[in-house]
Structure 1
Amino acid sequence: MPRTGTPLGRVRILLVEDSELDAELLVEQLQESGLDAEFVRVDDAPSMAAALAGEPFDLVVSDMELPGFSGYQALEIVRSHDGRLPFVFFSGTIGEEAAVKALQEGASDYVLKHSPVRLPSAVARAIRETRLEREREYAERELMRSQRLDCLAMLAAGLSHDLRNILQPLLIVPDLLSTYSNDPKILRLGAVISESGKRGHEMADSMLSFVRGSRKASERIEVAALFQAVQLLMQGSLSKRVRLEIEMPEDGLLIEGNYTEFQQCLINLCLNGIQAMAEQGGALTLSARRATDADGRDHVVVRVADEGSGMDEATRNQLFTPFFTTKSSGTGLGLMSCKRIVESVQGRIQVESRVGHGTSFELWLPAAASLEWSAPEGAVFQDGEGRRILLVDGDATRLSLLGNALAAQGYDPMMAPDGAIALQQIARIGLPALAILDDDILLLSAADVLAVLQEAGFDGPVIRLREPGTQEDGHDCAAVVTKPVQIQSLFASIEHALGLHA
C-alpha cells in the first residue's frame, strides 16, 4: 500500500472469496504493503449478510465468480446494506464490458488476480475516498445545524430587541406619573405597570443572553462616522489588486437603526465585492446620497459598488434566499442578514449586476430627523431652571424618553446617541452643567468622552448609566444609575449632584 496520504489506521475488510488460497494471497499482499487490517472471509450470500449485520467494515473485496453466487450479487447486498461502503472486485478474469458494468453498478474499482500489484493502492484509495465523502457530509450537516442555530439566534435577538423597545416606556412612564399626580389609584396603577415592565425586561434579557447581546436598540447614526469605521475595519481585507474608494457623505446625513448591525451589513457587502474582484482586481466604492422615493419620503441611499465578475439573472434571483451561496466557504446568510437589517427600518435593497461588469447594492434607508433638541421658546421651567444637561445614550428609545422627562422637569437636554456626536454638539452648543453618560455608547467610550470634556474645560458632575455588575473604569463620577433606569432615581441623582456642585 502506498505510504503517502492520510494514514488509514486499523481497518476491517470483508473478503468475499471461495478460494482459501486466493484469500491468503490477497491478505499477504495487503499486509506486506503496510496495511493494518482485520480480515473476515465469507463465500456465500447468507454468511455475507450475517457478517455485514455485525461490526462495521471499511471495505469489501469480492471475487467475480463464486459457486452459486456472483460478485454482482455481493455488490447488490452491500449496496442494500450501506450504499457508501467501498467495494473492490478482485477477479481472475474480467472483460472490459464486465468492468464497465461493475463500475456503473457502484463498484469502487477492480483488480485482476494475475496482476495484484495495484491492489494495495486501489484498496487505500477506495477507503480514503469514502472517508473523505463521509467527512464532507458530516461537515455539511454540522454547517447546516450551525446555520439553523444562527437563524434562531437572529430571531431571538430580534424578538428581544423589539420587546425591550416596547417595554422601555413601562419602566420609565410609571415614575413620571408620580410627578403629575398624587392620586393613590394612579400611583398603584403605575406600580403595576412598572412591575410588569420589569418582568418583561427580565424575559427579554434572558432571550438576549442566548445570543450574548448580538443586537441592541435603535439609534441615530451619522453616515460619515459609519463609513469611517467601515474603512478602518476593511483595511486588513483588501488585496493589492483591490482599492477601497469612499466618497464621504455630507455632514448631518443621518439614518436610524442599530449601529453595529449596519456596520456589519456594509462589511458583508464590501467583502462580497472584494471576493468578486479577486482575480481581475478593481475599485470598491462606498458612497451615500440624499434621495426622495415615489411617495415623497426622504431617504439616504447607501451604495456599495464593485468592478468584479458580476452575476447572471439566475444568481440575482436567489441572492436573498437562506443558505444560497456561490462561495465554497460561504454560509448563505450574509445577504439574508443584510436584507433583514434594512427591512427592519422600513428600508429596501436594490441590486444591479451584469456578468463581467460588476455589481452594485443600494440600501434605501429612511432619513432620520436632526439630532438637535432644545427647549421650546418661552418654556416655563420647573426645578431644572433651564440648566443644560448632556445626555449620551446608545438606546434610542431610552434616549428619547429620558430627554422628554428632563425637559418636563425644566432642564435643557442635549441628546446624542454616541460619543462622537456628543462631542460635535459640545463644540457647537457649549459645555453642559451636568453630563449623563451611558456606558454602552459606540465610537467613543464614556471614559473617552469624559476625558475630552474635561480637556475642554468641563468641571461639572457626571452621572453614569451602567448595567448591574459592571466594573469601574477608574473615572470618578457623582453617581451611578443602574439600568433599567428608574426616573425618580435618576432625578434624585441629578438634583443631588447639581446641589453639591452649586
Structure 2
Amino acid sequence: MIHLRRGGIRADIRRVDTEAAFVDALLEEEWDLILSDYNLPGYSGLAALDKLRALGKIIPFILVSGEIGEDIAVQAMRNGASDYLLKSNLARLAPAAMMAIEANRTRLAKQHADLELSQSRQQIRELAQHLQTSIEQERAAIAREIHDDVGGALTAVKLDLAWIARHATTPALAEHAQQAMEAVTMAHEAAQRIMHNLRPAILEQGLVAALQWMTDRFAKRTGITTTFRTSHDQLTLSAGVPLVAYRFAQEALTNVSKHAQASRVSVDLAQAGGVLSIEVSDNGRGLNDDDLAKARSFGIRGLRERAETVGGWVDISSGTDGTTLILSVPLSGPENGFLDAVTPELLDTPLGSEGDPDDPTTWGHLQ
C-alpha cells in the first residue's frame, strides 16, 4: 500500500488469504489489478493465477515473492502473469502496476475492436447474401415479365404479320410484311437471350449440363478454344450452389473474353472431399498486382462476395502463362440453401414452350 501511494496510485484494496475468499472477491467486483504473494497459508500465488485463468477473468496479475527462482518466474509468466517482483525491490511496484493496467486496458480495447470488426464482417456477409437473394428474385421477376408481356406481344405481332403476308395484294406489301416478320423474329430471339442471362433455365438440367452448354456457346461466340472437363455426370447440390457456380463460371468467361487476350480456356468441375470446385484457366496475358488493386475492380471482388454467400471462397493465380480462377464451396452448412426463397412463388408458374433454338431447355420451370 505504501509503495503504491509513493508511486502516485490511490487504490481501494481488498486483502484475501484463502482460495474461497479469492474467488468471492473475483465474482463480486471488477478489479484493475491482482497482487499476489508467492507463498500463502495453504495456498500459493501460482494456484491463484490458475484459478484466475479458470474463471476466465482478464485481470493483470503481479506475483510478489521474497525469493523466487528463475524457473518459477518463467512458469508464472507463461501462465499469464503480467510481471513478478522481489520484495527487496518493491520500488518497481507502482510502475509495474501502471504498466500492467495500461497493457490490460489496451488488450481489452483490442478485443472489443476485434469483436466489433467480426460482427461488422458478419453483417456485411449477411447483407451480401440478402442482396444476392434479392438480385436473383428481381432477375426471375424481370425474366417472367419479358416472357409474358414482351414475348407474348411479339408472338401476336408475328402472327398478324404472317396473316398480312399471306393476304397481301401486292408483292411490295408482302415483302414489307416479310421484312417486319424477320425483325420481330430477331427481337424475339433477343428477348429469349435476355431471359436466359437473367435466369438460366438450363440449370434445370443440372450444373454439369449447364456448364457444358455455357462453354460450347462461349466457344462459338468468341472463337476461343474452350474445353470443359468434369469428374461427374450428375451432381446433387443444395439449391443455392448451382446458381452461384454457374454465375462464377459465367463471370470468369466474360472476363476472359474482355481482358485476357487468350486463345484457349478450360473449365474444370470436380467434387471431392465434400467440396465442389470449379477451375477456369486461360493462356492469356495474366493479371498483375495493379489489376488486382484497382479501386473499381469489382469483377474479382464480386466473385468473392458471391462465393461467400454459400460459404465458399475464390483463389486466383496469375502469371505470364495465363490466369486461373478457382471457386471452392463446402457442400455442407446452412449457407448453401440461401437461394431457396427464390424458387417457390416466383418460379413455379409455367412460362411457355418457345425458346432460344440454341438453348436445349424451355422456360417451363425456372429453378
Normalising by structure 1, we get a TM-score of: 0.35
User: Greater share of strand residues, 1 or 2?
Assistant: 1
Normalising by structure 2, we get a TM-score of: 0.46
Of structures 1 and 2, the one with the larger relative CO (CA 8 A, separation 6+) is 2
User: Greater share of helix residues, 1 or 2?
Assistant: 2
